[in-house]
Chain A
Amino acid sequence: MKLTRKRRNALLSGAFAIIFIMLALTPLLPEAEIGTRLMLNAVGIDTINGQVIVTAQTLSGTSSETVHGEGLRVGDALEDIAERYGREAELGHCGLLVFGYEVTADDAEFALMGLLGDAIVNAGCSVACASGSAEEFINAAVGLTSATGDGIADYAGFADTSTAVSVPSALEVLQHLKSRSATAVLPVFELTGNKGESGEGSSQNSGTDSTGVQQSGGSNKTEIVPPRRAKVLGREDFEPDEQAVAGWMWISERAEGGLTETRADLEGEEYIIQGSVTEKKRGVKVRAENGRVKAEIKLEVKLKFIDRYIIIERAEGENRLRYLAEDLEKAFERTFTDQLKAAAEECARSDILGIGTLLYRNDPSAYAAWGSDMSKVDFVFDVKVTVF
């Protein structure tokens, strides 16, 4: 049968479409890759005496285990993992990098440059800090999170989007470290150990892992506490106080909401009122003025009371709800301002609010004249709270 031109074209188009679809779908059919690779979901990085120790959670279907490797660089440690476990480590699906608490700005920069420069890890991968060693954190967290079939990265992702936490991405951390401010802030994930019944999470992965580290089975119940602490990596590596961390989180773009509380004096009686931030607008404007630097920090939040009944009870029958709300807005404004001031004070040690970067972007010559002298920075705070 002789093919007509039209039919031949249709056949060619069909064949091409099939090839195109097959090519396009190959990234979605990673079965072969999974079989030959160790898919790492969360990676812990400790640096001890110049040696990098990598502890990672692997995910294969619903099962999960912990692997370890060591080397001079993160890349070497990953190669060590490949040698020890007979499969190459794949970090394309890695959602969380955890540094040990002793991490320095140089360590973090070196590790992230290696991981991102060689496109080993996704730039959107979250980065956090453990309250102790990263190895300890990963070992314990694997037991806790695998009970639900999730990885540690999912937990961190939940913390980032659903609580008052800002977990930066690998690219953001590196951007901050390489910026003129040269400062990144990592949230600290804490592990707490309570005496109690065996947690269901820990039973999933109890026993001894491949390196002989005791897992969190038995009578100790370990929990990951959503971060309220943070570690600053910059000119100085330190942990700011709780007020400063809160101030940094409010001004951070990624933290969308969160819980806060204030002490309010309502007609002579002092109450602790809790509120949940539902909307937030933030901004930092920096400009050079008469040889000094002026930093205007603006925060506008919409806040919903958690203990609404206290307010309603106070106002009942007196039609004074509006006045009480105004008092409360002022009380919350004071709290937010104090927290922002605390964050601004920490800038003297390391520029956590990114003042240097913003000044450089606006006016490079003023930045050069300023010389990163934080004592020449005048902060102005503009906080507005609306309660409902």
Chain B
Amino acid sequence: MDKFSLRQFTLITFLIGLAMKMFNLPVLMLRLCGRDAFVVLLIEAAADFVLLAAVITIIVCSHGMTLFELLEKAFGGVVTRIVALVVGLFWLFKLFIMLVDVRIFFSNTVFTAPLEAVHVLPLIALLIYFALKPLSSAGRLGELFTPAVVISMVLLGALTVSKVDFGGLRPLLAEGSEPIAKGLSSLFMWFGDFTLLLMATGKADGGKKLFFALPAGIAAFACMTLFSAVLFASYGDMPELLSYGHSISNITQYAVGSFKFGRFDLLIFAMWLSAVFVSSGIIAAFFARCMNYVFGGKVGRVILIVGGAAVYVATMLTVNLNTVTEFAMVYFNIPAAIVQYGLPVVCAIALIAGSRKKYKRIKEKV
């Protein structure tokens, strides 16, 4: 069944809210904005919350139409195909960035040598398989993985939060608003993930109850903000100490006496990594649906495989992973903002346009 239940939708919202932000983002923010990264994070989280609310509103108001049906009805097939192509390719690129993040993390935290082909290939094969399955499969995986992710968050909090001097977050705005402007205008690639949920337009049960996913989004932001605050407070005076690949899970190493129980962070990241898997699977599914709409049946599936192969080749050919991150920040920042925050706006316009057309038809009949 190509549908999310209410519970699945809520849990997927939580996982998507966390997934991509847990890798490089806090370190990127700290290096870019210093302590003011905390302010940037709060603003971006608020923007993402508004985005989530908008996405849910669109899903609720779509009256059972799918995303492409909604756009097609308002703008016609050609425009919708163009939108689907652009959005699909963007998400494929974002999947690539996500895999680069994962590679940086693994090469920095787990393996002394970078990941070899053998590590990424099965993952991409799995993502392609995942993309071909109905939405309920992703939902079910979300149900299976969320407890592990929640446990890892609780462990992470228990091991670290009490040892941190949160006074280290101050002073905020000591260097004016420039670092904040810089942060806000550079990191769109790592935010705006909730746009993915538009895939559930017309394919989610629950009606207005879907707004229950808002607290799940808030919970994800709360986790993210708390653990990022740990990082910002601890390294506010020495951001140069952190390099790309130091992720949230590394902060378990701050725990006093953590040498006694060893690399507990590995166990924790093994659990929260499942959120990343679900999230990247949903990205692949979104790409597949876009390609399926644009090219239709078999060709769509071929494009999906070609896309997977392209991501694999690009990931393997990328020698300097940090360059990709900087590239995404500089050149793909604006496109990321346009696609991720623009698509819900386009959908909202489509809804309004659709309502007007319907209203006209009714009036004409009367």
Give the interface of A toward B (CB within 8 A): 13, 20, 23-28, 30, 92-95, 113, 116-117, 119, 122-125, 153, 157, 169, 171, 174-175, 178-180, 253, 358, 360-364
B238→A95 contact, CB < 8 A: no
Task: Enumerate chain A residues within 8 angstroms of B148, measured Cβ to Cβ.
Answer: 20
Given A23-B270, A24-B267, A122 and B237 contact (CB-CB distance below 8 Å) = no
Cross-chain contact A178 with B262 (CB below 8 angstroms)? no
* Interfacial chain B residues near A157, Cβ < 8 Å: 257, 260
Known contacts A93-B262, A117-B241, A174-B241; A124/B171 CB under 8 A: no
Residues of chain B contacted by A360 (CB below 8 angstroms): 171, 174
CA distance A174 to B148 in the complex (A): 34
Closest 4 CB pairs of A and B: A27-B266, A361-B170, A364-B174, A178-B237
Determine if B266 and A174 form an interchain contact, defined as CB atoms under 8 angstroms apart: no
Q: Is the CB of A122 within 8 A of B258?
A: yes
Among the listed A26, A95, A178, which residue makes an inter-chain contact with B266, where contact means beta carbons less than 8 Å apart? Answer: A26
Which has the most chain B C-beta neighbours within 10 Å: A13, A26, A27?
A27
15 contacts between A and B (CB under 8 A): A25-B267, A94-B259, A119-B246, A119-B253, A123-B254, A124-B256, A124-B259, A171-B254, A175-B168, A175-B237, A178-B237, A178-B238, A179-B237, A180-B237, A364-B174
Closest to A253 in B: B165
Chain B residues with Cβ below 8 Å from A94 are 259
Query: Is B5 close to A, CB under 8 A?
Result: no
Q: Chain B residues with Cβ under 8 A from A122's Cβ?
A: 253, 258-259
Residues of B within 8 A of A (CB): 108-109, 144, 148, 163, 165, 167-168, 170-171, 174, 234, 237-238, 240-243, 246, 250, 253-260, 262-264, 266-267, 270-271, 274
Pairwise interchain contact A362-B255, C-beta atoms closer than 8 A: no
Report B-chain residues with C-beta under 8 Å of the C-beta of A180: 237
- Contact across chains for B241 and A28 when beta carbons are under 8 A apart: no
| CB-defined contacts of A119 to chain B, threshold 8 Å | 108-109, 246, 250, 253
A13 to B238, CA, bound (A): 44
**A125 and B259 alpha carbons, distance in the complex (Å):** 7
Chain A residue with Cβ nearest B109: A119
Interface centre among A30, A92, A123, A169 (most CB of B within 10 A): A123
Rounded to whole angstroms, the CA-CA distance of A23 and B148 in the bound complex is 13
CA distance A27 to B171 in the complex (A): 38
Whether A361 lies near B171 (C-beta < 8 A) is yes
The answer to whether A174 and B258 touch (CB under 8 A), given A123-B253, A364-B171, is no
Contact: A24 with B262, CB < 8 Å?
no
Chain B neighbourhood of A24, CB < 8 A:
267, 270-271
Residue in A125, A169, A175 whose beta carbon sits within 8 Å of that of B238 in the complex? A175
A362 touching B171 in the complex, CB below 8 Å, given contacts A123-B253, A124-B259, A125-B259:
yes
Inter-chain contacts of A116 with B (CB < 8 A): 241
B262 and A174 contact, CB distance less than 8 A = no
Measured in the bound complex, the distance between the Cα atoms of B170 and A169 in whole Å is: 21
In the assembled complex, the CB of B168 is this many whole angstroms from the nearest CB of chain A, namely 7
Contact present for A92 and B263 (CB under 8 Å): yes
Known: A27-B266, A119-B109, A361-B171. A124 touches B255 (CB 8 A): yes
Q: Which residue of A lies closest to B263 (CB)?
A: A27
For the complex, give the distance between the alpha carbons of A38 and B165 in Å.
33
Cα(A124)–Cα(B253), bound, Å: 6
Given contacts A174-B238, A175-B234, A124 and B258 within 8 Å (CB-CB): yes
Is A361 a contact of B167 with CB atoms below 8 Å? yes
Q: How far is the CB of A295 from chain B (nearest CB, A)?
A: 15
Residue numbers in A under 8 Å from B144 (CB-CB): 13
Query: With A and B bound together, what is the CA distance between A366 and B148 in angstroms?
Result: 47
Which residue from B165, B259, B263 sits with its C-beta under 8 Å from A153? B259
Q: How far is the CB of A48 from chain B (nearest CB, A)?
A: 26
A200 to B152, CA, bound (A): 44
Minimal Cβ-Cβ distance residue in B for A367: B171
- Contacting residues, chain B, for A358 (C-beta < 8 A): 167
- The minimal Cβ–Cβ distance linking A153 to chain B, given in whole angstroms, is 7
Q: In the assembly, what is the distance between CA of A119 and CA of B253, in Å?
A: 9
Q: How far is the CA of A124 from the CA of B167 in the complex (A)?
A: 19
Cβ distance B197 to chain A, nearest Cβ, rounded Å? 24
Tell me the smallest distance from the CB of B146 to a CB of chain A, in Å.
Answer: 14
